[in-house]
Structure 1
Amino acid sequence: MSEIVYDALVIGSGAAGSFAVKELTAQGLSVLLLEAGPAVGPKDFDPVRKKAPASSINIWERARATLKGQPIQARAAFFTERFSHFFVNDRKNPYTTPKGEPFLWIRGRQGGGRLHSFGRVLLRWTDDDFKIRSRAGKGVDWPVSYDELAPFYDEVEAYLGLYGNKDNVATLPDGIYAKPASLTPAEQIFKQAVENRWPERHVVSWRYIAPDADRMPRPLRDAKATGELTIRYDAVVRRITTDEKTGRATGAEYIDRNTGAVSTVRAATVVLSASPIESVRLLLNSASAKHPDGLGNSSGALGRYFMDQLPCLAFGSFSKAKGWAPDESAPTDPFYNPSGGIFIPRFGESDAARGDFDYQGSVGRAPVSVDTDARLAFFGFGRMLPYADNRITLDVRRRDAWNIPVPHIRCVMQEEEQALLRRQEETLIALIKEVGGDLEFIGSPTGLKEMGKGAFPEADVFSRFMFRKWFRKTMCMGAAIHETGGARMGETREASVLNPYNQLWDAPNLIVTDASAFPGSGIAGTTLTVMVLTIRACRNLVDQYRTGRL
C-alpha cells in the first residue's frame, strides 16, 4: 500500500490552524491536521468547574496549579482552575530565558489551541500598525496595508458572528457585527465622562465572539464536514521534512504524545500555525544540509525580531456609579463567564497624550453591593519595536518530554519601550483620576505601584503579601499574551523569513500564518489579524499549487 500524500499538511489547530483547514478543505484539498494535544469534548467544559474564586487574587488556585506542574501557566493575569486543563504542563514543556530577563510563555495544547482560553476580543489593526515606519519613522512597514486586508476582515467577522457596535472611531476601524454589544450603566457613565473631557479619546464596547456551544471551533467543524480533513491528535511535530535537492517542504516527522512512537507524513504543501514561539522553534529544529541554520533562515532573520506588547494592569473603583450589572448581550454559557467590557483605543492625533498604547477593561461588572462604588479594572497594551537581539533560539542543553530541544526566549524592553510604558501607566492613572475613579494599584514589568487602599484591600493579609511577592513574576514581558515576530514577512528575502503572502522564501510551498509572521507588535489582540492573514495566505497557496507555480 503506497503512502498517502496529502495536498496540504496543517500544523496546529488554534486561530491560524483552524482557519487554514477551513479554507483549504473548502477549496477541495485533502488536508491532514496535526495537533500536539488531545481532542476537546463536552467533559472539558463541565459546569461543575465554574466556581467563584475564594478571593479576587485566587492565590490558592494558583498554588494548586503550581504543585500540579503549572508554575508558569498559573502566573497568567486572569488564571483560574476552571481553565487549567487548557494550559500546558510546564514540567513537560519547559523553556529557558536569559538570567534576569524573564518571559512568561502562556500556551495551550489541545484541539482549538488557545481559542478555548483567550479573551474572545477581536479587533482590527490599522495602518498605524501596518505602516508604522512610514507614519512614525519607527520599526518596519508591513508588506500589506489595511486596505488590502479590509475585505478579509469583513469576511472573518461576518463568518464568526461578532458582537459589537459601529463606533466611528478613526483609530479603531468598524467591522461587521451580527449583534450589538452592551455597556454596563457604570461603563456608560465612564464613557460619557471620558469623552466629554477629551474629545479625541473614545470608550467603546468590546468587539467579541460569544462562546461556541458546540465547543469545537466553527472553522474546524466546517472543515470536518467537507470530508476532506483528517485529524491526528496527540501528534507532537519535531521537524518539517524537506527534499534534499530542492529544499522544498515534503511533510513532517511527529511523535505520539502518549506512546512516543515516531511517524512521518507527506504533503505537497505545508501550513505552519503552531503559535509564534512554537513555529519558530520547529523551523530552527528542521535544519538540514540544504537549510543548515534552520528551515527558512538564509537571511539570518529566523527567530529574530521577537516581540510582545507592553503590559500594565490596574484595579480600583469608580465613585460615580454604584453596584454592578450583568451583561446579557450574549446567551448565558454554563462554563464561561459573560464576555464584554470597554476598550479605549489609540487617542486621536490632536490629543497631546496620544501614544502607541490602548486599554481594555471593565467598569461595574464585578459583583458588589448596591451601595458600593463600582469596581474597575484595566489592562494596557503598548507597542514594542522589533530588535534583532530579541530572539528565539534553541537551547540544545535542555529537552522537553519528547526529547525535542526547548526554545530559549529573549524579549527585553529597550529605552524606547521603558519610556512608552511609563507614559502608558501615567496616562491611565491621570485619566481614571480625572473622571472620578480611584486606583488601588497599577503595575507592569517596571514594578507595582500601590495607592489609596492598596492592592485588593478586601483580601486577607497573606493573600495580599503573596500578591506583592509574586507580582514581578506575573507582570513581566509575555504577560500580554500577544507575542509576535520571529519569522517576519517582508518585501525582500534578505531582511525577512516570509514573502508578502506568508510563504517561506527558501521553501515557497510552506506558509507560516500565526503571529510569528508579524513584522510589528501592534497594540491590540493578534487573533483577528492572524485569521485574516491565514485566509489570504491559504488562497494564494492554493492558487499557486493548482497552477503549478510551486
Structure 2
Amino acid sequence: MMYISDKTKELSTYDAIVIGSGISGGWAAMELCRKGMKTLLLERGRDVKHLQDYPTANLNPWDFKFGYNNPMEDQKRNPVQSTSYNPTNKHFYVEDMEHPYIQEQPFNWLRGYQVGGRSLTWGRQCYRFSDLDFEANAREGIAVDWPIRYKDIAPWYSYVESFIGVSGQKENLSQLPDGEFLSPMELNCIEKHLADSIKKNDHDRLLTIARVANLTRGWDNRGPCQYRNLCSRGCPFGGYFSSNSSTIPAAMATGNLTLRPFSIVTEILYDEQKGKAKGVRIIDTLSNEVYEFYSKIVFVNASTVATAGMLLNSTSSRFPNGFGNGSAQIGHNLMDHHSSAGASGTHDQFADQYYKGRRPSGFLIPRFRNLHDNEKLDFKRGYNIQGHGERQEWSDKVNGLSGFGSDFKAQLTTPGPWTVWMAGWGECLPYYENKIALDPDQKDKWGQPLIRIDFSFKENEHNMMTDIRNSSGEMLEKAGFRNVDTFNYKKPGGSTIHEMGTVRMGRDPKTSVLNQFNQMHEVKNVFITDGSCMTSSASQNPSLTYMALTARASQFAFEQLKNGNL
C-alpha cells in the first residue's frame, strides 16, 4: 500500500469525484459544481478541448487519402472500432489492440477514451421513456421493477431538454411523451408521402421527424446547427450537445471543477470503519504512477461495461465480490438495442422535387406494437422505426452504369428515384446470463483484468426482428414503393452502442444495486447514473434518460450531503 502524507491527502481531497466525462459524467460535474461543490472529474483518455481539438471538422472529402473508406490494414488492426468510425472521426475511437477485451460471443464494445467520451460521436436522438416502459418489468414479471415512474423523472426530462436544446414535433402520444422542443426540422416530400400513407392505413402508427439535440436556433451561446452533417467530427459551432461544448465549460465557469485526463480509475476505495467510499485509486497513463483521491461522494459514469468492471475490481473484506455487490447482480442483465432488421424501397413519383443541403436527423415511427393487451404477438415489448428518405445520387448508381464522356456524366449527375431506408430499434429484455466478468488471468498493459463479455439476443428479440422486417416492408408497399427489400443485417450485440444494465436500479437490495435515486443500496455516498443503472432498455435511444437521472441524482446527493446523511 502506498504511503499518503496528511498534506498530500489534503491536496487530493474534494467534495465530489466524478468518474468519466461523457454524456452523464459531464452532467454530474456541471450539476455538482453549480451547487458549490469542489469536484474532480476523472477521464481515462486524453483531453479534447472544444473548438481546438476537432482536427477534421472543416476538411473536404478529397482531403482524406482514402476518402471515407477505412483501409484494409486499419480494419485488421481495429476489427471492432472500424465498424463504427471512418477516417473523419477515427481519432475519437480507441485502438482495439491497445484496449483488448474478451468476447465470449460476438459483441462490439465501441469506445471513445477522451474528454467528452462518446458525447462527441453520439447519434443525438432524444426520446423520453413512458410508464409503458417503467411498468413493463412489473407487469410481465420480468427481472425486477423499476423503482421510479414517469412522474418522478418527467420534470428532470424537461430540465435537461431546456438546457441541451432538442428539436422536435409534439405528437401527444402516451408511449412517447412530448418534451420541451425547439422548432422541428422538416420532412422531405417522400417522407411526407410515407407519413400520409401510414396515417391512412393504420391509426396506431405515426411518422414524425426525429427528436435530436441539434439546435434549430441559437441556444445557450451555442449553435445554431449548420446542417453540415459532420457531427461526429466534433462541431466547432456547438450545433449539437456534447460535454465538450456545453456541460464541461459550464462546470469550469464555476471555478469548482478540476479536470484530470489520462487517469484510469482502477478501484473505488472503501472505508471499513465508516461504511462508505472514501475515494478512488488511479493510474496515470502518462507516468504509470498510482495516485489516490478522496471525496465525500463519488459519481460513477464510466459507461456500462467499464463501470461494472470497475466495481467488480474494487474488492475489500466487506465486498469480496465487488464494490456494493451484496446482491450479486453487478455485471449481469447487460442489454443493447438491436437495430439490424428493416426494409428499403424506391418510389417513382416526385421526380420533379429535390432538397437543398443536409439534415442531421431522419424520421421516427414511434412504438406501435404491444400497446394493447389483445395483440397476440410472439414477442414482448416493442420497437420504434428510424429511417430517412433521399434521392439516389451518383454513388448509388455508379455500379449499374457504364459509358464515357458527357452522356455518362449526365447519367451520373442526374438524380435517381426517391428511396427510403428504415430499420427497427428494438427492446432487448434484461437477461441475467447476459453479463460481463473480469478474467482471472489476462491483464491489459496497465495490469488491470481484461473484461469478458458474454451476450446474445434471444428468441424474443429474434421474433421481434422478423416482425420489424414484415411491418417495414408492408408500410413501404402500401405507400407505393417498388423493389422493396426487407433485411436483417444480423449485427452482434453492442453494435447499436446502447449498452445498458449491469448495475441496475431496483426496490430491493437483495436483487438490485441502486435505489430510486441511483444511490448504491450498500454504500450510500456512491451514485451511478450512466447506462449501467438501467433496469430495462425500452426501445427509445437512452441518453436523454441518463442525463435526466444524473441531474436528479445530483440534486438528491447534494441535499443528502447538506443534511448530514452522507
TM-score (ref. length: structure 2): 0.84
Matches within 5 A, 1:437-448: 437=481, 438-440=483-485, 442-445=487-490
Q: Provide the residue aligned with 1:290 in structure 2.
A: 318
Which of 537, 547, 550 is the aligned partner of 2:563?
A: 547
Residue range with higher mean Cα deviation, 208-217 or 235-244 = 208-217
Residue range with higher mean Cα deviation, 313-322 or 535-544 = 313-322
User: Distance between the aligned counterparts of 2:15 and 2:60, measured in 1?
Assistant: 42
TM-aligned CA deviation for residue 371 of structure 1 = 4.8
Q: Could you say if the C-alpha distance between residues 327 and 125 of structure 1 is closer, same or farther in structure 2, counting changes exceeding 3 Å?
A: farther
User: Distance between the aligned counterparts of 1:346 and 1:44, measured in 2?
Assistant: 36
**Structure 2 counterpart of 1:299, one-letter code:** S
User: Distance between the aligned counterparts of 1:154 and 1:377, measured in 2?
Assistant: 31
Q: Provide the residue aligned with 1:434 in structure 2.
A: 478
TM-aligned CA deviation for residue 46 of structure 1 = 2.5
TM-aligned CA deviation for residue 81 of structure 1 = 1.8
TM-aligned CA deviation for residue 313 of structure 1 = 4.6
Q: Encode CA deviations 1:10-66: one digit per residue, 9 max, x unaligned.
A: 000111101001110111000000011111132424335452899xx9894163532
Which of 363, 366, 380 is the aligned partner of 1:342?
A: 363
TM-aligned CA deviation for residue 326 of structure 1 = 4.9
Q: Encode CA deviations 1:49-87: one digit per residue, 9 max, x unaligned.
A: 452899xx98941635324x32111123xx322111111
Which of 92, 95, 113 is the aligned partner of 2:98?
A: 92
Please tell me whether the aligned partners of residues 306 and 486 of structure 1 are also in contact (alpha carbons under 8 angstroms).
Answer: yes
**Structure 1 counterpart of 2:38, one-letter code:** S
User: Distance between the aligned counterparts of 2:418 and 2:198, measured in 1?
Assistant: 16
Which of 412, 432, 437 is the aligned partner of 1:388?
A: 432
**Structure 2 counterpart of 1:534, one-letter code:** T
**Structure 2 counterpart of 1:254, one-letter code:** I
User: Distance between the aligned counterparts of 2:544 and 2:558, measured in 1?
Assistant: 21
Q: Could you say if the C-alpha distance between residues 313 and 48 of structure 1 is closer, same or farther in structure 2, counting changes exceeding 3 Å?
A: farther
Alignment partner of 1:356 is 2:404: no
**Structure 2 counterpart of 1:393, one-letter code:** A
Q: Could you say if the C-alpha distance between residues 189 and 279 of structure 1 is closer, same or farther in structure 2, counting changes exceeding 3 Å?
A: same
TM-aligned CA deviation for residue 315 of structure 1 = 5.9
User: Distance between the aligned counterparts of 1:278 and 1:506, measured in 2?
Assistant: 20
User: Distance between the aligned counterparts of 1:135 and 1:6, measured in 2?
Assistant: 43
Alignment partner of 1:159 is 2:163: yes
TM-aligned CA deviation for residue 293 of structure 1 = 0.3
Please tell me whether the aligned partners of residues 323 and 373 of structure 1 are also in contact (alpha carbons under 8 angstroms).
Answer: no
Please tell me whether the aligned partners of residues 347 and 353 of structure 1 are also in contact (alpha carbons under 8 angstroms).
Answer: no
Which of 124, 138, 152 is the aligned partner of 1:120?
A: 124
Matches within 5 A, 1:200-239: 200-210=204-214, 213-214=237-238, 216-239=244-267
Please tell me whether the aligned partners of residues 144 and 511 of structure 2 are also in contact (alpha carbons under 8 angstroms).
Answer: no
Please tell me whether the aligned partners of residues 103 and 454 of structure 2 are also in contact (alpha carbons under 8 angstroms).
Answer: yes
Matches within 5 A, 1:460-539: 475-539=491-555
SS at match of 2:329: coil
Please tell me whether the aligned partners of residues 342 and 468 of structure 2 are also in contact (alpha carbons under 8 angstroms).
Answer: no
Number of residue pairs matched? 506
**Structure 2 counterpart of 1:376, one-letter code:** V
SS at match of 1:519: coil
Which of 180, 185, 188 is the aligned partner of 1:184?
A: 188
TM-aligned CA deviation for residue 495 of structure 1 = 0.5
TM-aligned CA deviation for residue 396 of structure 1 = 2.5
User: Distance between the aligned counterparts of 1:139 and 1:242, measured in 2?
Assistant: 29
SS at match of 2:193: helix
Matches within 5 A, 1:289-328: 289-314=317-342, 316-319=344-347, 320-322=349-351, 325-326=354-355
Q: Encode CA deviations 1:486-520: one digit per residue, 9 max, x unaligned.
A: 00011010000111111111211000000100010
Alignment partner of 1:29 is 2:33: no
Residue range with higher mean Cα deviation, 167-176 or 501-510 = 167-176
Please tell me whether the aligned partners of residues 239 and 283 of structure 1 are also in contact (alpha carbons under 8 angstroms).
Answer: yes
Q: Could you say if the C-alpha distance between residues 327 and 139 of structure 1 is closer, same or farther in structure 2, counting changes exceeding 3 Å?
A: farther
SS at match of 1:317: strand
Please tell me whether the aligned partners of residues 62 and 80 of structure 1 are also in contact (alpha carbons under 8 angstroms).
Answer: no
SS at match of 1:61: coil
SS at match of 2:89: helix
Alignment partner of 1:17 is 2:17: no
User: Distance between the aligned counterparts of 1:525 and 1:233, measured in 2?
Assistant: 28
TM-aligned CA deviation for residue 158 of structure 1 = 0.8
Q: Give the unaligned 5+ runs of structure 1.
A: 329-336, 446-474
**Structure 1 counterpart of 2:526, one-letter code:** L
Alignment partner of 1:248 is 2:264: no
Alignment partner of 1:104 is 2:108: yes
Q: Give the unaligned 5+ runs of structure 2.
A: 1-6, 215-230, 395-412
TM-aligned CA deviation for residue 367 of structure 1 = 4.2
Q: Provide the residue aligned with 2:221 in structure 1.
A: none
Please tell me whether the aligned partners of residues 56 and 89 of structure 2 are also in contact (alpha carbons under 8 angstroms).
Answer: no
Please tell me whether the aligned partners of residues 184 and 365 of structure 1 are also in contact (alpha carbons under 8 angstroms).
Answer: no
TM-score (ref. length: structure 1): 0.86
**Structure 1 counterpart of 2:499, one-letter code:** E
